[in-house]
Amino acid sequence: MSKLLQILLPQEKKFFPLFEKASGNLYEIACLLHNMVKEDDVTKREKMILEIENLEHVGDNITHEIFNELKMTFITPFDREDIHELASALDDVVDFINGSAKRILLYKVDKMYISFIKLAELIENSAFELNKAISELRNLKNINKLREACIHVNSNENLADEIFENSIANLFNEEQNAIEIIKIKDILTLLETATDRCEDVANVIGTIIVKNS
Protein backbone atom coordinates (compact mmCIF):
# COMPACT_ATOMS: atom_id res chain seq x y z
CA MET A 1 0.00 0.00 0.00
CA SER A 2 2.79 2.46 0.88
CA LYS A 3 4.48 1.78 -2.49
CA LEU A 4 1.17 2.42 -4.27
CA LEU A 5 0.69 5.68 -2.37
CA GLN A 6 4.18 6.81 -3.36
CA ILE A 7 3.28 6.28 -7.00
CA LEU A 8 -0.13 7.96 -6.84
CA LEU A 9 0.61 10.88 -4.51
CA PRO A 10 3.27 13.57 -4.94
CA GLN A 11 6.27 13.22 -2.64
CA GLU A 12 7.50 16.11 -0.55
CA LYS A 13 10.78 17.31 -2.07
CA LYS A 14 11.75 19.78 0.66
CA PHE A 15 13.95 17.18 2.34
CA PHE A 16 16.58 17.10 -0.40
CA PRO A 17 17.59 20.80 -0.14
CA LEU A 18 17.64 20.47 3.66
CA PHE A 19 19.90 17.42 3.56
CA GLU A 20 22.15 19.18 1.07
CA LYS A 21 22.34 22.17 3.44
CA ALA A 22 23.18 19.82 6.32
CA SER A 23 25.91 17.96 4.42
CA GLY A 24 27.30 21.24 3.03
CA ASN A 25 27.47 22.61 6.56
CA LEU A 26 29.20 19.43 7.70
CA TYR A 27 31.80 19.77 4.96
CA GLU A 28 32.40 23.41 5.85
CA ILE A 29 32.88 22.63 9.53
CA ALA A 30 35.17 19.69 8.69
CA CYS A 31 37.35 21.94 6.50
CA LEU A 32 37.54 24.46 9.33
CA LEU A 33 38.62 21.75 11.77
CA HIS A 34 41.36 20.56 9.43
CA ASN A 35 42.63 24.11 8.87
CA MET A 36 42.41 24.85 12.59
CA VAL A 37 44.62 21.95 13.69
CA LYS A 38 47.20 22.97 11.06
CA GLU A 39 47.24 26.58 12.29
CA ASP A 40 50.21 27.58 14.46
CA ASP A 41 48.84 30.99 15.43
CA VAL A 42 46.82 30.46 18.63
CA THR A 43 44.69 33.58 18.07
CA LYS A 44 43.70 32.48 14.58
CA ARG A 45 43.05 29.00 15.88
CA GLU A 46 40.68 30.30 18.56
CA LYS A 47 38.79 32.31 15.95
CA MET A 48 38.33 29.16 13.85
CA ILE A 49 37.07 27.25 16.89
CA LEU A 50 34.40 29.93 17.43
CA GLU A 51 33.43 29.63 13.76
CA ILE A 52 33.10 25.86 14.22
CA GLU A 53 30.81 26.43 17.20
CA ASN A 54 28.64 28.81 15.15
CA LEU A 55 28.35 26.24 12.35
CA GLU A 56 27.35 23.62 14.91
CA HIS A 57 24.38 25.86 15.81
CA VAL A 58 23.57 26.17 12.09
CA GLY A 59 23.58 22.38 11.86
CA ASP A 60 21.24 22.09 14.84
CA ASN A 61 18.77 24.46 13.17
CA ILE A 62 18.83 22.46 9.93
CA THR A 63 18.25 19.22 11.85
CA HIS A 64 15.27 20.72 13.69
CA GLU A 65 13.89 21.93 10.36
CA ILE A 66 14.12 18.42 8.92
CA PHE A 67 12.36 16.95 11.97
CA ASN A 68 9.61 19.58 11.74
CA GLU A 69 9.07 18.83 8.04
CA LEU A 70 8.92 15.12 8.88
CA LYS A 71 6.10 15.75 11.37
CA MET A 72 4.08 17.68 8.80
CA THR A 73 4.69 15.52 5.72
CA PHE A 74 2.48 12.59 4.73
CA ILE A 75 4.39 11.21 1.74
CA THR A 76 8.18 11.29 2.01
CA PRO A 77 10.77 10.58 -0.73
CA PHE A 78 12.12 7.63 1.25
CA ASP A 79 11.26 5.90 4.54
CA ARG A 80 10.53 8.21 7.44
CA GLU A 81 12.87 6.36 9.80
CA ASP A 82 15.70 6.71 7.27
CA ILE A 83 15.10 10.46 7.02
CA HIS A 84 15.26 10.69 10.81
CA GLU A 85 18.37 8.50 11.00
CA LEU A 86 20.17 10.43 8.26
CA ALA A 87 19.46 13.82 9.87
CA SER A 88 20.53 12.55 13.30
CA ALA A 89 23.70 10.93 11.97
CA LEU A 90 24.78 14.10 10.14
CA ASP A 91 24.12 16.13 13.29
CA ASP A 92 26.21 13.69 15.36
CA VAL A 93 29.27 14.18 13.14
CA VAL A 94 29.01 17.96 13.53
CA ASP A 95 28.63 17.59 17.30
CA PHE A 96 31.81 15.53 17.63
CA ILE A 97 33.78 17.91 15.42
CA ASN A 98 32.62 20.80 17.59
CA GLY A 99 33.37 18.82 20.75
CA SER A 100 36.95 18.09 19.70
CA ALA A 101 37.55 21.73 18.74
CA LYS A 102 36.12 22.99 22.04
CA ARG A 103 38.35 20.61 24.01
CA ILE A 104 41.42 22.07 22.27
CA LEU A 105 40.28 25.51 23.39
CA LEU A 106 39.19 24.57 26.93
CA TYR A 107 42.26 22.43 27.63
CA LYS A 108 44.51 25.23 26.30
CA VAL A 109 46.33 22.77 24.04
CA ASP A 110 49.05 24.69 22.20
CA LYS A 111 50.82 21.83 20.44
CA MET A 112 48.89 20.40 17.50
CA TYR A 113 49.89 16.74 17.30
CA ILE A 114 50.36 15.14 13.88
CA SER A 115 47.64 12.66 14.83
CA PHE A 116 45.17 15.56 15.19
CA ILE A 117 46.00 16.66 11.66
CA LYS A 118 45.75 13.15 10.20
CA LEU A 119 42.38 12.47 11.83
CA ALA A 120 41.03 15.90 10.87
CA GLU A 121 42.09 15.25 7.28
CA LEU A 122 40.17 11.97 7.25
CA ILE A 123 37.10 13.72 8.70
CA GLU A 124 37.30 16.38 5.99
CA ASN A 125 37.66 13.75 3.28
CA SER A 126 34.70 11.76 4.63
CA ALA A 127 32.59 14.93 4.85
CA PHE A 128 33.44 15.66 1.20
CA GLU A 129 32.35 12.16 0.17
CA LEU A 130 29.13 12.39 2.19
CA ASN A 131 28.29 15.80 0.74
CA LYS A 132 28.82 14.38 -2.75
CA ALA A 133 26.68 11.33 -2.00
CA ILE A 134 23.80 13.27 -0.49
CA SER A 135 23.60 15.47 -3.58
CA GLU A 136 22.89 12.25 -5.52
CA LEU A 137 19.93 11.22 -3.34
CA ARG A 138 17.49 13.38 -5.34
CA ASN A 139 17.14 10.87 -8.15
CA LEU A 140 19.11 7.79 -7.04
CA LYS A 141 20.26 7.27 -10.62
CA ASN A 142 23.98 7.24 -9.87
CA ILE A 143 23.97 4.30 -7.49
CA ASN A 144 27.62 3.51 -8.21
CA LYS A 145 28.68 7.03 -7.16
CA LEU A 146 26.74 6.66 -3.93
CA ARG A 147 28.32 3.30 -3.20
CA GLU A 148 31.81 4.53 -4.02
CA ALA A 149 31.38 7.47 -1.64
CA CYS A 150 30.25 5.14 1.14
CA ILE A 151 33.22 2.83 0.52
CA HIS A 152 35.62 5.78 0.81
CA VAL A 153 34.04 6.79 4.11
CA ASN A 154 34.31 3.24 5.45
CA SER A 155 37.98 3.10 4.41
CA ASN A 156 38.63 6.41 6.17
CA GLU A 157 37.11 5.04 9.36
CA ASN A 158 39.43 2.02 9.23
CA LEU A 159 42.44 4.31 8.74
CA ALA A 160 41.27 6.48 11.64
CA ASP A 161 41.12 3.42 13.91
CA GLU A 162 44.72 2.60 13.07
CA ILE A 163 45.91 6.19 13.60
CA PHE A 164 44.05 6.39 16.90
CA GLU A 165 45.47 3.14 18.26
CA ASN A 166 49.06 4.03 17.28
CA SER A 167 48.68 7.56 18.65
CA ILE A 168 47.42 6.34 22.01
CA ALA A 169 50.28 3.83 22.24
CA ASN A 170 52.83 6.56 21.42
CA LEU A 171 51.19 8.96 23.87
CA PHE A 172 51.56 6.55 26.80
CA ASN A 173 55.11 5.66 25.78
CA GLU A 174 56.37 9.20 25.25
CA GLU A 175 54.36 11.56 27.48
CA GLN A 176 55.25 11.71 31.18
CA ASN A 177 52.62 14.26 32.26
CA ALA A 178 49.46 12.39 33.31
CA ILE A 179 47.22 15.45 32.87
CA GLU A 180 48.54 15.98 29.34
CA ILE A 181 47.84 12.32 28.55
CA ILE A 182 44.23 12.68 29.69
CA LYS A 183 43.69 15.84 27.63
CA ILE A 184 45.24 14.52 24.41
CA LYS A 185 43.55 11.12 24.71
CA ASP A 186 40.17 12.84 25.11
CA ILE A 187 40.70 14.95 21.97
CA LEU A 188 41.92 11.95 19.98
CA THR A 189 38.87 9.96 21.07
CA LEU A 190 36.48 12.69 19.93
CA LEU A 191 38.22 13.01 16.57
CA GLU A 192 38.18 9.26 16.01
CA THR A 193 34.53 9.08 17.04
CA ALA A 194 33.72 11.73 14.42
CA THR A 195 34.99 9.29 11.77
CA ASP A 196 32.75 6.59 13.28
CA ARG A 197 29.76 8.91 12.99
CA CYS A 198 30.69 9.62 9.35
CA GLU A 199 30.51 5.88 8.78
CA ASP A 200 27.06 5.88 10.42
CA VAL A 201 25.91 8.42 7.81
CA ALA A 202 27.35 6.24 5.04
CA ASN A 203 25.51 3.21 6.47
CA VAL A 204 22.19 5.07 6.44
CA ILE A 205 22.81 6.08 2.82
CA GLY A 206 23.56 2.42 2.07
CA THR A 207 20.23 1.42 3.62
CA ILE A 208 18.40 4.00 1.48
CA ILE A 209 20.12 2.64 -1.64
CA VAL A 210 19.04 -0.93 -0.86
CA LYS A 211 15.44 0.07 -0.16
CA ASN A 212 15.02 2.27 -3.21
CA SER A 213 17.14 0.69 -5.95
Q: Give the residue extent of every domain in the chain.
A: 14-212
Q: Taking residues 186-208, report their average pLDDT.
A: 97
pLDDT in tens, 139-166: 777 888 899 999 999 999 999 999 999 9
pLDDT band at 5 (very low <50, low <70, confident <90, very high): very low
Q: 14-212: which CATH number, 3.40.1160.10, 3.40.50.300, 1.20.58.220, 1.10.150.20? A: 1.20.58.220
Q: Taking residues 80-107, report their average pLDDT.
A: 97
Q: Is the pLDDT of residue 7 over 80?
A: no
pLDDT (0 to 100) of residue 9: 37
Q: Is the pLDDT of residue 2 over 70?
A: no
Backbone angles phi, psi at 154, to 5 degrees: -65, -40
Q: Taking residues 94-99, report their average pLDDT.
A: 98
- Nearest Cα to Cα of residue 94 among 57, 67, 119, 125: 57
Q: Is the pLDDT of residue 13 over 80?
A: no
Of residues 11 and 68, more confidence is placed in 68
Q: Is the pLDDT of residue 75 over 70?
A: yes
Q: Is the pLDDT of residue 127 over 90?
A: yes
pLDDT band at 14 (very low <50, low <70, confident <90, very high): confident
pLDDT band at 12 (very low <50, low <70, confident <90, very high): low
